[in-house]
Chains A and B, each alone.
Chain A
């Protein structure tokens, strides 16, 4: 059973639009959530972290967390062609007995069309 789920896409949005990326997770006790951006052939790059319910904004990026619904999302405002990448949702699951490994979704491929 996959524990972190993402729509694989591709998600296509026009330049300047808002891109909305979604992620659900199965472990209700999870407490730490991260969004990574991965360009083709490159390593994951951390862009957002969120730990409590609500919204967290950083520039054009907003992460939203709803623990009751076990749902975390990433909004990218004023999307640019340079935002075209695969976005990975990562969760630290509870009950890891001191291990803080990340469990990743498969990623959503975003294409921003000029």
Chain B
């Protein structure tokens, strides 16, 4: 089926605004991950969902960041009171199940720019 889909592909907004980033994982994938990638760096983990629940949110940088996955499929990453330092590419990945041997497949990302 289709790969991981992320919308929007680009988002430009002003400092202090609220943004929502959407991820639609590969059909049937139960595990969903959010990462953030800054220029010249590898992706950094934000949060992991297994089904509807956030199994690990240890990578969220502060309480301005929140993510949900209410029906165990589509996920939304929400950022309140955006700051210029939040500018990055936000990547979503999904895998067939949790586990050490389940490769993660990435979407094309959302490039977020905070002016």
The answer to whether A44 and B91 touch across the interface, beta carbons within 8 angstroms, is yes
| Neighbouring A residues of B8 by C-beta, 8 Å | none
| Neighbouring B residues of A99 by C-beta, 8 Å | 48, 55-56, 58
Interface residues on B, range: 20 to 34
Given known contacts A96-B56, A106-B42, A101 and B101 CB-to-CB distance under 8 angstroms: no
State whether the Cβ of A57 lies closer than 8 Å to any Cβ in chain B. Answer: no
| Neighbouring A residues of B31 by C-beta, 8 Å | 100
Q: Residue on A with the closest CB to B42?
A: A104
State whether the Cβ of A92 lies closer than 8 Å to any Cβ in chain B. Answer: yes
The answer to whether A43 and B108 touch across the interface, beta carbons within 8 angstroms, is yes
Given known contacts A88-B42, A99-B58, A45 and B48 CB-to-CB distance under 8 angstroms: no
Give the CA-CA distance A101 to B59 in the complex, in Å.
Answer: 10
| Neighbouring B residues of A45 by C-beta, 8 Å | 106
Per-position 1/0 for A54-89, Cβ under 8 A of B: 000000000000000000000000000000000010
| Neighbouring B residues of A46 by C-beta, 8 Å | 103-106
Binding site for A on B (CB under 8 A): 31, 33, 35, 40-45, 48, 55-56, 58-59, 91, 93, 95, 98-109
Chain A contact residue count (CB 8 A cutoff): 28
The answer to whether A98 and B103 touch across the interface, beta carbons within 8 angstroms, is no
State whether the Cβ of A22 lies closer than 8 Å to any Cβ in chain B. Answer: no
Closest 7 pairs (CB-CB, A-B) = A104-B42, A99-B56, A101-B45, A43-B106, A32-B100, A43-B108, A44-B106
Give the CA-CA distance A100 to B48 in the complex, in Å.
Answer: 8
The answer to whether B103 and A49 touch across the interface, beta carbons within 8 angstroms, is yes
Q: Which of A19-39 contact B (CB under 8 A)?
A: 31-32, 34, 36
| Neighbouring B residues of A107 by C-beta, 8 Å | 41-42
Give the CA-CA distance A8 to B39 in the complex, in Å.
Answer: 13
